Amino acid sequence: MKRLAVWGTFTFPLLLCYALAPSEILMCVIAGAFLVRSALCREWGWLRQPWFVFSLLLGMDLVLASAHVGSGHAVLQSVLLVRYPVFVAAMAYWILTDPQDRRRLRVAYAVVALWIVAGSWQQYICGRNLMGYSRWEDGALLGPLWAPRAGQALFMTAFAGLMPAILSLAQRRNRSGLVYAGCILVLLVLTFLLISQRMPTLLFLFGTLCLALLVRSLRMPFLIACLIGMVGIVLSPVVAPQAYNKLVISFEHQMHHFADSPYGMLFIRAMVMLKDHPWVGFGYDGFRINCPNPAYFHGLPALGIPDGPHGGAPGCNLHPHNYYLQVATMAGWPGCVLFCLVVACLLRPMAAVLRRGHMTAGQMVPCVLAFVIVWPLQSTSSFSTQPTAGWVFLALGWALAVCTREDGDGSAVTRAGHGMSSA
């Protein structure tokens, strides 16, 4: 049963790009198989993990909030959210316990990352991708996909799949290793700029910066990649005007007029809703249902945002585009506090790994990735829908797996960037 689940896990990066419903089904099957395995082996120690306990408390809070608003559908959806922490536990304590399986998963991620890179450049050069689609209406490249999800998919697959190899190359005590590491980083940065999705680009740079701060030998390749990326932005009005309009002009406008930007309007609406319902929230999917209500068309005078419709009903979306605000609108501030405790308990063993003076790339990269994806200051998709749920919860389970046992993935990396020994 485990081998079937492991080989199913290797298909996740491809399923999350092309088959969202099968990926959700596979997550449920793996979570269910893990429960069966725990019952057969009478191994329930994972239930006592602090992050899982707080996840259950958060789930119960969401159920109560959904029951408070009187929606049976919301109650059912809240109950079913338990599949995600169970899936994380399955990854950490069952599926990815073998270093060889983690290496194979990393290879699967790397292959999909290279596929996205190739598809993005092909669409940029030819104007249309292999499916016949041109750029999205806002100028973003689709890569080998049919929707503007290439940025998120490339961030998750490239960071988890290619970054360990980049670290290993940077750790070589010769010029060729640094050159190869720099070339791969430059290729990835330029691809992100061509795709023109701002948040995945910023998250990739942020995560790489974190790694560069931990590994000295990565700093020069990262600096060179950033400099070449800046040159690419300077040249983008000529070579990629759509990317320039989205990455520079649109971003500058949104930062100068944040309250009137789509993200600003979502933030204002979520905070107004929380102000009116701070303790219980609106239950599962409460933001989508209540966002068009004119009762919440107000500003935030406490933050210097005057009263006004701020987009009105057209300014709404399916979710507030932030994990923490999403939970807060569903279960109020108590739910948000529980969510923060879940995140803190998840990151604690990862922080312990990163504090070590000697660690492998296979340990360092998943831990940094987990830290980046739960960073609160970012725009996100909903964590309860695919493909985001698959990317996020698989990454968290992967990071926990490398924290709970000695890892044999890749070469040993020292924080100072000197020295290299066999793992």
Q: Does position 407 have pLDDT exceeding 50, yes or no?
A: no
* CA angle in degrees (0–180, nearest 5) for 392-395-398: 150
Record the tokens describing residue 200, joined without a space. Answer: 């995945």
pLDDT score at 49: 95
Give residue-wise pLDDT tens across range 310-356: 778 888 889 999 999 999 999 999 999 999 999 999 999 999 888 87
For strands 412-414 and 358-360, give the pairing.
antiparallel
Across 127-136, 137-146, 265-274, the highest mean pLDDT is recorded for 265-274
How many CA atoms does the CB half-sphere of 422 hold within 13 Å? 0
- Tell me the domain boundaries of the chain: 2-253+322-414, 257-315
Number of other residues whose CB lies within 10 A of the CB of residue 235: 11
The tokens for 388 are: 């985001």
Mean pLDDT of the chain: 89
Given CA atoms 224, 230, 232, 235 in this order, what sign does their dihedral have?
negative
Q: What is the spatial distance between Cα 170 and Cα 189, in angstroms, rounded to a whole number?
A: 17
In tens, the pLDDT along 5-64 reads 999 999 999 999 999 999 999 999 999 999 999 999 999 999 999 999 999 999 999 999
- Other C-beta atoms lying within 10 Å of the C-beta of residue 304: 8
> 225: which 2 tokens?
């990649």
Assign 360 to helix, strand or coil.
Answer: strand
Taking Cα atoms as reference points, which of 194, 176, 4 lies closest to residue 117? 194
Is pLDDT above 90 for 171? no
Bridge partner residues of 412 (DSSP): 360
Look up residue 388 and give its amino acid: T
